[in-house]
Every structure is written in structure tokens, then in C-alpha cells.
């Protein structure tokens, strides 16, 4: 299998476009191979009345297909761990990510930071899963965790980290990537998540700067 230039590990369909759609597109635009690993099908999200709750996972998977196609992603792998319950399935998630690492031998891996960007328990579990898999992986790869340069000021949500904790755990940005020519593709990808319009709106509200400049924290291993 061709080694991947970039492998992105996230929790839900939409995380990849919202948090690093620019980096994904830039990588593929330059001829690189990008792969996404999404640990859940996102079946516990909101439907906004566009489908039934039973249909949501399939609808979100289709949204992911369209969004990642726009970004030029070579393979969008979706696993079926429980949305909202990733924290109870970390060993399974770790095994799945480790398997993806071994198959794709990526040059670079992007994952969530410890605060999950918004304190979401699935995002935080996805961070631990990615790091546990990388710890067991014998290959060499650069590891970048998504972060932001502006403070987090959202209201708290039940089950999420408190906003002050999210902000207190925010990692310093060691790399910043100007989205530039990839902005149109990033917006188009984000626009495919119709059922997740509130998440798209929230990213625009919380992290408007990351639309134009994606920030990452390089992990030294």
C-alpha cells in the first residue's frame, strides 16, 4: 500500500473538515495521499429534522464521503464505535487506529488535543486513543495535535469539560498553516454537513481564526 502523507484521526464525521480541512486539502492538492479515520458514524448527533434518528449515521457517513471527496482524501475509513460512548471503547479504538497506522505508515498524523477543542468527551477519548495507538506503533511519524490561537469562550454543556478547563488545557500552537488557496475546498467540505449545521456554526463562532489559519501543536516523541 502507498504510504500516506497524512492520516487524521477523529471522533465524528465533520471533525476532519472543521478542524483540519485546509491541511487535508493542501496535502492532496500537492499530490500527497491523505487518509481519515473516523471512530464513530455520528449516530447520536442532531438530525435537525432532516432524517430520522435511525437514519442519521448513514446520512452523516454520506456527508463525510462528499466532504472528503472535495478535500481529495484517498480513503475515509469510518468505524462503528458508539457515538457519545467512545470513552467506554478506548481499547477497541486503539486497536483500530494502530491497524490503520500499520497499513498506511503515514508521514504525519493529526489528532485531537487533550481538551478535545471543545471539551467533548468523544473528542478527548479520540485523543487518548490516537496517542495510545501511536505509543504502540513502531513506525516513525510526525504527530500534530489540533489547537487554536484564540481563547475558548463557549458556554459549558453537560458531560463536557467546563470552558475554563478547555481553555486551561489549550496547547500552544507550534505550527500554523495558512489555509489560503484551500479555503474554497474547506468551505465546500464544511457545507456538505447539512445535518451538522449547528456544529459548523459553532466552529465559526468559537474558532473563526482557524477557518483561515489552522493551528497545530507538534508532539515530540
Please identify, among the stretches 3-11, 80-88, 124-132, 152-160, the one whose residues bind Zn ion according to the rule CB under 5 A. 3-11
Distance from C-alpha of 213 to C-alpha of 149, rounded to nearest angstrom: 9
Of 165-204, binders to Zn ion (CB under 5 A) are none
**CA dist 121 → 107, 141, 143 (Å):** 28, 26, 21
Q: Which CB, 29 or 202, lies closer to Zn ion?
A: 202
Distance from C-alpha of 15 to C-alpha of 200, rounded to nearest angstrom: 10
> Minimum Å distance from CB 42 to Zn ion?
8
Q: Which CB, 11 or 190, lies closer to Zn ion?
A: 11
> Minimum Å distance from CB 1 to Zn ion?
27
Stated as kind and residue range, the H or E segment containing 9 is strand 6-10
Half-sphere exposure of 17 (CA within 13 A, CB side): 32
Distance from C-alpha of 46 to C-alpha of 56, rounded to nearest angstrom: 8
> Minimum Å distance from CB 15 to Zn ion?
4
Q: Which residues contact 215 (CB under 8 A, 6 or more apart)?
A: 146, 147, 148, 149, 173, 175, 176, 177
Of 13-42, binders to Zn ion (CB under 5 A) are 15
Q: Which CB, 15 or 214, lies closer to Zn ion?
A: 15
Of 57-76, binders to Zn ion (CB under 5 A) are none
Please identify, among the stretches 7-15, 124-132, 146-154, 185-193, the one whose residues bind Zn ion according to the rule CB under 5 A. 7-15
Which pairing describes strands 6-10 and 142-147: parallel, antiparallel, or unpaired?
Answer: unpaired
> Minimum Å distance from CB 12 to Zn ion?
4
Q: Which CB, 5 or 214, lies closer to Zn ion?
A: 214
Q: Which CB, 33 or 97, lies closer to Zn ion?
A: 97
Q: Which CB, 136 or 198, lies closer to Zn ion?
A: 198
> Minimum Å distance from CB 39 to Zn ion?
10
12 touching Zn ion, by CB under 5 A: yes
If you search the block for the grid coordinates 454537513, which residue do you land on? 193
Residues in contact with Zn ion, total (CB under 5 A)?
A: 3
> Minimum Å distance from CB 120 to Zn ion?
6
Other CB atoms closer than 10 Å to residue 82's CB: what's the count? Answer: 15
Q: In what order do the strands lie in the sheet with 75-81?
A: 75-81, 34-40, 6-10, 108-111, 142-147, 213-219, 175-178
Residues making contact with Zn ion (CB under 5 A): 11-12, 15
Amino acid at each position: 500500500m502507498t504510504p500516506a502523507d497524512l492520516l487524521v484521526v477523529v471522533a465524528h464525521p465533520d471533525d476532519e473538515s472543521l478542524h483540519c480541512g485546509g491541511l487535508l486539502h493542501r496535502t492532496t492538492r500537492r499530490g500527497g495521499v491523505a487518509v481519515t479515520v473516523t471512530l464513530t458514524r455520528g449516530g447520536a448527533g442532531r438530525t435537525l429534522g432532516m432524517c430520522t434518528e435511525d437514519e442519521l449515521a448513514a446520512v452523516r457517513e454520506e456527508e463525510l464521503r462528499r466532504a472528503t471527496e472535495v478535500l481529495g482524501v484517498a480513503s475515509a475509513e469510518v468505524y462503528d464505535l458508539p457515538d457519545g460512548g467512545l470513552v467506554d471503547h478506548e481499547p477497541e479504538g486503539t486497536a483500530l487506529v494502530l491497524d490503520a497506522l500499520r497499513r498506511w505508515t503515514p508521514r504525519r498524523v493529526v489528532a485531537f488535543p487533550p481538551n478535545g477543542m471543545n471539551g467533548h468527551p468523544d473528542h478527548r477519548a479520540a485523543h487518548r486513543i490516537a496517542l495510545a495507538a501511536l505509543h504502540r506503533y513502531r513506525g516513525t511519524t510526525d504527530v500534530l495535535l489540533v489547537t487554536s490561537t484564540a481563547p475558548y469562550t463557549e458556554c459549558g454543556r453537560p458531560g463536557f469539560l467546563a470552558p475554563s478547563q478547555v481553555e486551561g488545557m489549550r496547547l500552544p500552537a507550534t505550527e500554523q498553516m495558512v489555509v489560503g488557496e484551500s479555503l474554497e475546498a474547506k468551505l465546500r467540505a464544511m457545507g456538505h454537513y447539512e445535518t451538522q449545521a449547528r456544529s459548523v456554526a459553532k466552529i465559526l463562532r468559537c474558532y473563526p481564526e482557524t477557518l483561515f489559519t489552522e493551528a497545530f501543536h507538534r508532539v515530540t516523541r
